[in-house]
């Protein structure tokens, strides 16, 4: 069975969804060094237990795309460094920060990373996010 590890990259978010468990948003963000340390520890545990299914890392927050540079650096480090064990990377995002640069990066790495957008019917999305036009922006162009 694949080991799962959730890594909270930031507590910041660009929306204010009514369902969000993160009621006390702060400016706290994870450092690259801390993220690498978590990954190293989880991969080592998978090695020690001879877990053939590897490790799945779910990068989330707040809104993880607020830490896009960290995501790119961490993923590049994982793909370059960890070659002896299967590693899956998922990112859960509200999608409103997907610009051309981010879309191109996800497209270029689509074989190595899974990007999941929280998606809702239009009637509910703007109410949930308390932000006008969030549905249109999120669903304008999907990866």
32-51 mean pLDDT = 97
pLDDT of residue 142: 46
pLDDT tens digits, 44-58: 999 999 999 999 999
pLDDT-derived band of residue 117, with 50, 70 and 90 as boundaries?
confident
Q: Which long-range contacts (CB under 8 A, 24 or more apart) does 25-29 make?
A: 25/62, 29/66, 29/67, 29/70
- The mean pLDDT value for 92-97 works out to 89
Residue predicted with more confidence, 129 or 77: 77
Q: What is the pTM of this model?
A: 0.80
User: Of 65, 45, 43, which is closest to residue 56 (Cα–Cα)?
Assistant: 43
């Amino acid at each position: 069975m694949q080991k799962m590890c959730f890594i909270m990259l930031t507590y910041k978010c660009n929306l204010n969804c009514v369902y969000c468990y993160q009621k006390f948003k702060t400016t706290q963000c994870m450092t690259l060094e801390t993220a690498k340390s978590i990954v190293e520890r989880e991969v080592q545990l998978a090695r020690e237990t001879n877990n053939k299914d590897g490790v799945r890392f779910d990068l989330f927050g707040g809104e993880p795309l607020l830490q896009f540079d960290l995501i790119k650096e961490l993923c590049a480090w994982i793909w370059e460094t960890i070659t002896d064990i299967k590693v899956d990377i998922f990112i859960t995002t509200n999608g409103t920060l997907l610009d051309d640069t981010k879309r191109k990066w996800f497209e270029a790495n689509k074989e190595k990373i899974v990007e999941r957008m929280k998606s809702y019917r239009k009637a509910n999305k703007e109410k949930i996010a308390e932000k006008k036009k969030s549905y249109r922006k999120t669903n304008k162009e999907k990866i």
